[in-house]
Each structure stands twice: as C-alpha cells, then as structure tokens.
Structure 1
Amino acid sequence: MRFAGRESWQVSHGSSFTMDTALFVRDTLALSVETVPELPGLDPPVPVFVPPGVDRAGAAEEWLGWWADVLDHARGDRSDVPSPADPAARSLAVRPALRGAVEALMTPASQYWTRTSGTGHPTALPVGEVVRGVESRLGRQARPFRLVITVVGVQGLVWERMTDSHVIASRRFLDDPARCAPALRAVVESLA
C-alpha cells in the first residue's frame, strides 16, 4: 500500500492479497455468491476450474461469512489476526470447504496475480492535490483522518464506500482521473 499525508491525515491505497485470493476463488469455482459491494468478475477473467476434492457447494455456503472477514482484514480493522486467506487462520478453520478450496487454488491464484499485477501502469491518485483543494475550500487544515482504498482487479468501474474510512475501487476507475478525483474529493470532504 502507498501512504500519503502528514500527521493529521493518512490515505493508503493498494491491492489486498486476501481480497484478491477471495475473488480468484469465487471466479475460478464459479460460485454464485453475493459480494457486498457487488463486484464483477476478475479482469482478465479466469477459466472455471474445480480441483478434485473441492466441495464447491460447501464453499458457496461458507462464502458470506468469509467475505465479511476478508473485508474486515482489507480495511485494516483486523490487522492483529492472520489473513482470512491463510488456511491456518481461524476464518478458514471454521470453514472447511473454503479452506480446501483456498489450499487447492493458492498456487494458481499466486500465478494469476503475478501475471496480471504488472499489466498497465501503477495508479497515481491525486491525494495531496485533493486534500489541499478541500483544505482551501474549508479555509482550514483537514481534521485527522485515515482512509484505506482497496484496489481490486475486476472488470468495469467500481468505487464503493464500505465504511467512512474504507473504499473499494477497481483499477479501471482509478485510472480515470475524471471519475476518480471527484469521488476521492467527496470522501475526503466528508472526513476532513
């Protein structure tokens, strides 16, 4: 993750291995599950593949609880606990079907993210410029705040505010300054 700001505020953005793994498992197993927010398929898409011994129906049943743990971890609320994508972590210990799926798909997931993480150019968010603009409009320095932007490699334009201090955004959205800057400004204004 990248960090910007001074002591009074902090904005970090970057991908989350835990969230990336969860989305890879969802798409590879073609699980019909809800994600909140609703996230489209990975970009580039992955082929459907169910490894031998993986309980696809069981993984789908265990998905919602696991996804909640994944979101908590991505926003940094649970940094004191191991990643929910770690098969030894409590999150998967109580979800045996998902644990089996994660164990079976960990190597293909790592290979996929290694191949795709180098595609395109790194997104440079205009954080400092946006905060300075908000401070100028307010006529004062921003109040201390922390904002986490989790970048997901999915199709389409995604900018979803999960909590006051956590946003999930697609790479495509962040690569579009005409969309990204106003969305970032609205979040910073509400926090500053």
Structure 2
Amino acid sequence: MTGVVQWGLAFVCRLQGRPSAAESIPITSNPNYHEACVVTPPAAAYWSYWHATGAGTTWTYSSYGASNRNVVPGGFEGWSFSLNKTATSNPPPGVTPNNPAVSPNNPTVNLSVDDLDRKINLGQSTSLTWTSTNATSLTAFSVTPATGGGSWSGALAVPGGTKTITPTAKGTYTYTISATGTGGTVYNTATLTVQ
C-alpha cells in the first residue's frame, strides 16, 4: 500500500504496485494520466475504500480514508479501483462481505477523526464523527488520557452524528465510543494527536 506524499496513507494511491508510475490511466480528461502519488489522486482514477459490518452482504462506500476508520469486530474493509466513475457509481469490491459468525442483530459502531492525518495543533478544533447500526444507544465512553483531550462524554445521537473537540493540551488522545443494542454492547476508538 502506497500513500501520497501530501497526506500519507490517508489517501492510498497504489495497492500492490497498481497503478504503477509508468502505467497510463485513461481518465476522460487525460487519456495518458500517470499517478505520481504526490497529491490526492483525481476523482476519475482512485482506489475507492469500502467497509461492511459482516452481518449482511452489502458494502458501504467510505467518505473517510482507511487511516481514519477502525474495522468493526467481524467486519470487512475493501478496495476497488474507480475509473471515470462518480461517488454514486463507484464499483464496490467484488467479494461478498458476509461473516456467518456475526449476528445481524449485533450493534456496530465506527468513530472517525475528521482531520485526514488525525493531527491538529494546540488551539485548533476538530470533529469526531460516528455511525452505527442496530444500536439503541450510543455513548461517548471515555478519552485517554482523561484530561487535555477536550470534552467527550455522555449520550450521543443514534444512529450517527458529529461533535467538535477542542483539546487543551498537547499529546495523543484515544476517544472511545460504545454502542448498545439487543445484541449486546460494542466499542470503537479513534486517535488524535495534538502538536
């Protein structure tokens, strides 16, 4: 896996060497485009990133990169090269994302930091975004270390939402979210570095 110079692995430009720097990618606006992996790949030629809970057979397109997501237990991550497609016509991965061990009633939850590189400077704010399935309640469970990471506690909107975080000290903070449903309680985390 190769990321771009600008964002690191927040934007993946190559998987297993494809497309290579010498490979022509026939995008509509430039039939001889070559991916240099310096800046964000064009919307007409990039590796689209997908995720699935494992409880069904459907992939969900991710608007966040892999470095901003955590895989849900029993879930899947997938990649598909999108050539001259749109956000609604990107092809999902060609594998069915079903895990027989995952009950369709189990809750799932994902927590993401909205900054691409998961880093901000002290004094800045960022947002945490969460999504869930089969959850009857969501809770901002904890932040570690307990001080300096900003306010992250209490009930959260179901099935998803966004909350602004303003850390008060430098450090690396781990935010934990819990999701409870008829199938039990699960947790997920996101990490933010404050410089």
Structure 1 length-normalised TM? 0.26
Between the two structures, name the one with larger relative contact order (CA 8 Å, sep ≥ 6).
1
Structure 2 length-normalised TM? 0.26
The structure richer in strand per residue is 2
